[in-house]
Structure 1
Amino acid sequence: MDKQVLQQKVKAIQSKREVLVQLLTQPELGTLRIDVTQALEEMDDLLIEFAQVFPEIGT
């Protein structure tokens, strides 16, 4: 996988983050709020690690 493809995949992940953030604003989310919060935390960790491992690609 070349840098361009990798960067596109990471950008796709980043674009989906906003959907999770918007989902958290839904009052009827109930216990799924825990799962959404965890997904956001894991996504943020992944993006941070990606930036550390591949600083030349950027995010």
Structure 2
Amino acid sequence: MANSTRMQTMEAEKLQAKMTEIEGKREYLLKLLERPNLGTLRIDVNQAIEELDDLIMEFKRTFPD
């Protein structure tokens, strides 16, 4: 039983680490939006930011810790 709990804790830590990584990528995309020569890619970058925001919100709702 303790082994199962430890595995769940490890999985939760891995998920949290991935979410931290994703949040970092979101910050990169925000900086990318500041570039004046982005052209039509701006639409894709905005869409990616929106999708990351949804993912982050859903993660925080599912794992409120």
Residue in structure 2 matched with residue 30 of structure 1 by the alignment: 39
Q: Which fold has the larger relative contact order, with Cα–Cα distance below 8 Å and residues 6 or more apart in sequence?
A: 1
Give the counterpart letter for 2:19 in structure 1.
Answer: V
Give the TM-score taking structure 2 as reference length. 0.81
1:55 aligns with 2:64: yes
Deviation at 1:2, TM superposition (A): 1.1
Percent of pairs identical after alignment? Answer: 55
Unaligned runs of 5+ in 2: 1-9
| Equivalent residue pairs, number | 56
What do you get for the CA RMSD once the two structures are aligned?
Answer: 1.0
Distance in 2, Cα, partners of 1:8 & 1:27: 32
- Report the TM-score, using the length of structure 1 for normalisation: 0.89
2:29 to 5, 9, 20: 20
Q: Which has the larger radius of gyration?
A: 2
* Matching residue's letter, 2:55: L
Cα distance in 1 for partners of 2:14, 2:38 equals 34
Stretches (4+) displaced over 6 A: none
